[in-house]
Amino acid sequence: VGTSDWIEVSAQPLRVDRAVEFVTDPRAGGIDVFLGTTREEKASDGSELVALDYEAYAQMALEQLRALAQRAREKWPIIKLAILHRVGRVELGEPSVIIAVSTPHRADAFDACRFLIDELKVDVAIWKKEIWADGSASWIHPSS
């Protein structure tokens, strides 16, 4: 593992070109990249979402993401992977998370990438708050 995984929780804007560059490798036949981005929303009272504000229990989230990367490596022949999550305010259209995976063949890259984002959402210690145009803010409560 080591230098083959780039796992970070950061307040800096995420750079997809850097993630792709990191996982690029001559042994790879496929690179799959997922970006999670802030989507516009309109509440029932007409107010509009302007941003999401992310908070993390960084030390725990990093340990969880490293364990998640290890689980993916046990399932697919991953050459390199990057899992980058933003904290702080993320404007509409901007990425809050980037996952990039390189594998020898494309099917594994798609599957591993999907596994990583789906599992990240299950229990990694990160939260988002909705920031509305009127200045109000509300923590998301997943219903499941």
Partner 1 sequence: MRITVRFFAILKDRAGTSETTLELASGSTVASALESLSKRFPDLQRDCNRIAFAVNRSYVKPDQVLRDGDELALIPPVSGG
AA identity, residue 122: V
**Binding status of residue 96 toward partner 1 by CB under 8 A:** yes
For residue 127, how far is the Cα from the chain centroid? 12
**Binding status of residue 120 toward partner 1 by CB under 8 A:** yes
Span near partner 1 by CB under 8 A; candidates 21-29, 74-82, 102-110, 120-128: 120-128
Report the alpha-carbon distance of residue 53 to residue 55 in Å, rounded.
7
Beta carbon nearer to partner 1, 28 or 62: 62
Report the alpha-carbon distance of residue 107 to residue 103 in Å, rounded.
9
Residues facing residue 127 across a β-bridge: 55
Helix axes 106-123, 58-75, angle to 10 degrees: 150
Tell me the closest approach of the beta carbon of residue 120 to partner 1, in angstroms: 6
Site residues for partner 1, window 66-95 (CB under 8 A)? 85
Q: Which residues bind partner 1 (CB under 8 A)?
A: 36, 54-57, 59-61, 63, 85, 96-97, 117, 120-129, 139-142
